[in-house]
Amino acid sequence: MTDRPAADSHDQPQRGVSRRALLGGAAAGAGVVAGAAAAGAAISNAAHRSADSPGDRIVAFRGDRQAGIVTAVQDRLHFAAFDVITDSRAELIDLLQRWTLAAERMTRGQETVEGGAIGHGKYLPPPDTGEALGLSPASLTLTIGFGPGLFGPSASAPARGDRFGLAAHRPAALAELPIFAKDAIESSRSYGDICVQACADDPQVAVHAIRNLARMGFGVVSVRWSQLGFGRTSSTTRGQHTPRNMFGFKDGTRNLTADQTDLLDKFVWVAGQDNPAEAQWLTGGSYLVARRIRMDIEAWDRAALLEQEQIVGRSKGEGAPLGKHAEFDDPDFQMTVSRTPVIAEDAHVRLAHPDNLDGVQLLRRGYNFTDGSDGFGHLDAGLFFLAYCRNAHTQFVPMQRALSTKDAMMEYLTHTGTALFACPPGLAAGEWWGQRLFES
Amino acid sequence: MVLSACTAKSSGTGDIAVTSTDSACELSSSSASTGTVTFAVANNGSKVTEFYVFGKHNRVLGEVENIGPGVTGKLVVEITEPGTYETACKPGMVGNGIRGTLEVTGEQKSKSDVPADVEQAKARYLDYVRGQLDGLVAQTTTFVAAVKSGDLAAARAQFGLTRTFYERVEPVAESFADLDPAIDMRWDDTEDGKQPFTGFHRIERFLWPPQQSQVGEDGDDISQADLDNAKTDTAALVNVEAEALLGNVTALRDEVRKSDFAFETQSFVKGPQALVDEIAATKVGGEEDRYSRTDLWDFAANIDGSETLIAELQPMITAKNAPLMDKITGQFQAVRDAIGKYRQGDGYVSYDTVTAAQRKELSDKIDALSATLSQVPDLVLGQ
């Protein structure tokens, strides 16, 4: 849950406060008739559920780090990438300030503004859309990132100038990712000036958050693309069991976890020495790589178990490296049987292993997705890969280059979306999203 | 965050529970504060009952009827003046009922009537609508004459301009549930040809005959059934439609001309946004004029109509929120500039030359304007 011991207090989940209970209080304050009996019932209900319902948790919005990076991965995702469509620095800053207030409230299980869903009179569109009324905070985290397009020309808008006077503050590593072998990148699912990652244990809570931020942004930002995810495909704490991806295999066994603070400092958090003075706003933050990876589900499902396991390099049942017995056993890349490697040269686990990438690691936070079926009746499904790292170009790029050219699994994968964002550090009290960037 | 608006609007009075039996009418409270008073009427009797609140001279302020045995009804009454009021349950729905009194205290409140300046603005706007419909009839007369004379080139040249008059006042026209579809229906409204295809777009299809290559499933594509049906179009059939169109727009003008014609205040104050949403919802994708691709004419006309409405409301908006009015003005200009990029001669380029990215840019500006305009009704009608 925490990035470092000192941060314990602010990233510790608080249990037992339900959205409904908070709303009862908020609604009464706004003068709306909220049956006292109903609010009371909700509170006792919440108290009753708190012991076994992680969904009631509130994850602290402010702290040294942004929530939603090493926070225990929630069940659901709604990720959105926005284009900034105004050239006005003041309008953009105003939106970021309003977003921050709304985001913090929503992570507490509250409406975007007090009384937002019904308390603002009958002639106004309610400032909160209301579909999260009565739902718990559901561990909602909202994590913001800034794309290259905010600082000048970018892959999606190569002709664009430095609209907001931020060019000098662009970290060198915030450069568009290269196109890898076999990429089939769709521009309409890629890039973006700002991203917001909403993770929650309830999909409706995550969708509500993105939807309301998007509507607050009309005229200033425009949703460029978004992605829903379910079924986390990695763990960020030892307490979480390793989930399975759409191929049915355990994924993320070797992921970095929140308690590995030394490794996080080495591989996830941007350090002061990484950037010149103009880009120190990112110190303590991280880079987010987002890739939409379509899986060729039907073909995979026709592959024999032996082939599937050889491609992954792990057993499907236990998730143990081939030749080993338990999930967390170290893979042995030297072992051979009849001079053939037990873990094939082109197995996914071998190519992605830090030992074969000069020890480089990153923090994965991906989700399974399915966007229904395509025109052939095939699942449009796969892995929405999200990974945080200190420098995507020295960590993710070499890894993906190796995978894209050598990984046997590539026969069943197509990368259709790509994006890179710089995610600033967490917010101090009273601070707004992007303040350190815009005031640096 | 400024939230002053919320607290002021609540009366702070809870519901008054009314229990009606065959022989009694009990209120949980015989007093209330001025403002909105809500009664929850439970019928514990064996007969159907009613509940009334009476003001001076036995004037009915509110009533809830047909409450069956075992059923609860709700009545919300706005009581603006302090004083003594009468209540009544009417088991069996006959007679004077079982009377009681309600003491209302608190300060006098103004009734949430439509402000006078809104009524004046509505009257001026109605003049504008009538003027546009006169223009519509005149222009449609010319257009129909061109169609009937077989001068299809002239008819094509007239099409966008003729529709401009209609699109400027679309929300008013749409309040006529029969005339509007007859004039402005699309193929999509015909249930794939089961209903007759009439109006502007039927004639448009004849003037710009769709081709097999345009068949597809996107919003601005032609359906196969539409294409097949188009092949049955003859000049004689279309002349009948043209004549019917002229009859329908004339009927529309005559209805709106009537001295007792009135439109809802709600639709008036929502009109600016409604016109912009016409574009946002079903036009920016290119569905409206899918044969002629004259969509940009319609966009510009919707914006004309919306700006005219805003001009009427502008003093009220400025008085209450000048920065919002400035924002509206700026966003109208941005939309105008975006549409203006596609001007060509006296009209606009064909919408199929506007790329997906350009359409999204238009859509973004329209969404932004609409979001701002959604704040207008509360400013104009709110207390």
Average pLDDT over residues A390-410: 95
CA distance B374 to A434: 28
Nearest-Cα distance to chain B for A85, in Å, is 8
Contact A123 B381 (CB under 8 A): yes
**Cβ contacts of B22-27, under 8 Å, gap ≥ 24:** B22/B46, B22/B47, B22/B91, B22/B92, B23/B91, B23/B98, B24/B89, B24/B98, B25/B51, B25/B87, B25/B88, B25/B89, B25/B97, B25/B98, B25/B99, B25/B100, B27/B87, B27/B100, B27/B102
Task: Give the length of chain B.
Answer: 383
A101, A120, A218 ranked by CB distance to B6: nearest:
A120
Contact B365 A219 (CB under 8 A): yes
Write down the pLDDT at residue B77: 87
Can you read off the two tokens belonging to residue A141?
A: 């985290």
Nearest CA in chain A to B13: A33
Best A88, A186, A218, A432 residue to mutate vs chain B (most B CBs within 10 Å): A218
CA distance A393 to A401: 11
A33, A215, A220 ranked by CB distance to B14: nearest:
A33
Asked whether residue A45 carries a pLDDT value surpassing 50, the answer given is no
DSSP tag of B45: S
Q: What is the percent of chain A where pLDDT is above 70? A: 88
CA distance B227 to B238: 16
Write down the pLDDT at residue A63: 97
The whole-chain average pLDDT of chain A stands at 88
Does residue A159 or residue A34 have the better pLDDT? A159
Cβ burial, residue B239 (10 Å; 0-12/13-18/19+): middle
Write down the pLDDT at residue A167: 96
Average pLDDT over residues A180-199: 95
pLDDT band of residue A52 (cuts 50, 70, 90) is very low
CA distance A262 to A316: 31
A354 phi and psi angles, rounded to 5 deg: -55, -35
DSSP B124-172: HHHHHHHHHHHHHHHHHHHHHHHHHHT-HHHHHHHHHHHHHHHHHTHHH
CA distance A368 to A388: 17
- Amino acid, res. B371: A
Write down the pLDDT at residue A194: 98
Nearest CA in chain B to A220: B368
Write down the pLDDT at residue B267: 79
Nearest-Cα distance to chain A for B376, in Å, is 8
CA distance A200 to B149: 66
Does residue A349 or residue A237 have the better pLDDT? A349
The residues near B165 (Cβ < 8 Å, ≥ 6 apart) are B132, B133, B135, B136, B139, B301
DSSP tag of B330: H
| B35 close to B79: Cβ distance less than 8 angstroms | yes
| B279 close to B272: Cβ distance less than 8 angstroms | no
Average pLDDT over residues A181-192: 94
pLDDT band of residue A46 (cuts 50, 70, 90) is very low
B7, B331, B369 ranked by CB distance to A30: nearest:
B7
Closest CA to A389 of A356, A354, A414: A354
- Tokens 């929630």 correspond to what residue? A74
What are the distances in angstroms from CA B208 to CA A76, B1, B203, B205? 49, 54, 9, 5
- Tokens 């009694």 correspond to what residue? B24
Can you read off the two tokens belonging to residue A267?
A: 């591989």
Asked whether residue B170 carries a pLDDT value surpassing 60, the answer given is yes
Chain B contact present for A375, CB below 8 A: no
CA distance B356 to A63: 41
DSSP tag of A415: E
Nearest-Cα distance to chain B for A114, in Å, is 8
The residues near B31 (Cβ < 8 Å, ≥ 6 apart) are B102, B103, B104, B105
Rg from Cα positions in chain B: 27
Best A123, A188, A216, A220 residue to mutate vs chain B (most B CBs within 10 Å): A123
Best B1, B112, B217 residue to mutate vs chain A (most A CBs within 10 Å): B1
Write down the pLDDT at residue B65: 86
Task: State the DSSP H helix or E strand holding residue B32, giving kind and residue range, or none if neither.
Answer: strand B31-33
Q: What is the pLDDT of residues B53-81, one digit of tens each?
A: 998 877 888 888 889 999 888 888 888 88
Contact B378 A119 (CB under 8 A): no
Write down the pLDDT at residue B380: 87
Write down the pLDDT at residue A176: 94
B364, B365, B377 ranked by CB distance to A123: nearest:
B377
Q: What is the percent of chain A where pLDDT is above 90? A: 76
Which ranges in chain B belong to alpha helices (H)? 4-8, 116-149, 152-168, 170-173, 179-184, 200-207, 224-230, 235-257, 265-282, 295-320, 322-340, 356-373, 376-381
B14, B367, B377 ranked by CB distance to A218: nearest:
B367
CA distance A252 to A238: 11
Neighbours of A223 (CB within 10 A): 20
Which residues is A222 bridged to in the sheet? A83
Best mean pLDDT range from A41-55, A324-338, A425-439, B112-126 = A425-439
Asked whether residue B86 carries a pLDDT value surpassing 90, the answer given is yes
pLDDT band of residue B101 (cuts 50, 70, 90) is very high
Contacts of B368 in chain A (CB under 8 A): 85, 218-220
Closest CA to A365 of A215, A231, A210: A231
pLDDT band of residue A427 (cuts 50, 70, 90) is very high
Write down the pLDDT at residue A49: 37
Average pLDDT over residues B204-224: 94
Contacts of B331 in chain A (CB under 8 A): 219
Average pLDDT over residues B188-216: 94
pLDDT band of residue B25 (cuts 50, 70, 90) is very high
DSSP tag of A89: H
Contact A125 B6 (CB under 8 A): no
Does residue B81 or residue A400 have the better pLDDT? A400
pLDDT band of residue A42 (cuts 50, 70, 90) is very low
pLDDT band of residue B383 (cuts 50, 70, 90) is low
Contact A121 B378 (CB under 8 A): yes
| A69 close to A286: Cβ distance less than 8 angstroms | yes
Neighbours of A356 (CB within 10 A): 15
What are the distances in angstroms from CA A114 to CA A137, A212, B196? 16, 14, 51
pLDDT band of residue B110 (cuts 50, 70, 90) is low
Average pLDDT over residues B136-143: 97
| B52 close to B75: Cβ distance less than 8 angstroms | no
Contact A218 B1 (CB under 8 A): no
Contacts of A220 in chain B (CB under 8 A): 368
Chain B contact present for A113, CB below 8 A: yes
Asked whether residue A79 carries a pLDDT value surpassing 90, the answer given is yes
Average pLDDT over residues B26-35: 92
Asked whether residue B133 carries a pLDDT value surpassing 90, the answer given is yes
pLDDT band of residue B2 (cuts 50, 70, 90) is very low
Which residues is A229 bridged to in the sheet? A77
Does residue B108 or residue A437 have the better pLDDT? A437
Asked whether residue A32 carries a pLDDT value surpassing 70, the answer given is no
Contact B367 A222 (CB under 8 A): yes
Neighbours of A46 (CB within 10 A): 20
Asked whether residue B224 carries a pLDDT value surpassing 50, the answer given is yes
pLDDT band of residue B258 (cuts 50, 70, 90) is very high
Chain B contact present for A85, CB below 8 A: yes
pLDDT band of residue B45 (cuts 50, 70, 90) is very high
Indicate the pTM of the whole model: 0.80
Does residue B170 or residue A418 have the better pLDDT? A418
Between helices B116-149 and B235-257, what is the axis angle to 10°?
160
Nearest-Cα distance to chain B for A181, in Å, is 27
A187 phi and psi angles, rounded to 5 deg: -60, -30
The whole-chain average pLDDT of chain B stands at 90
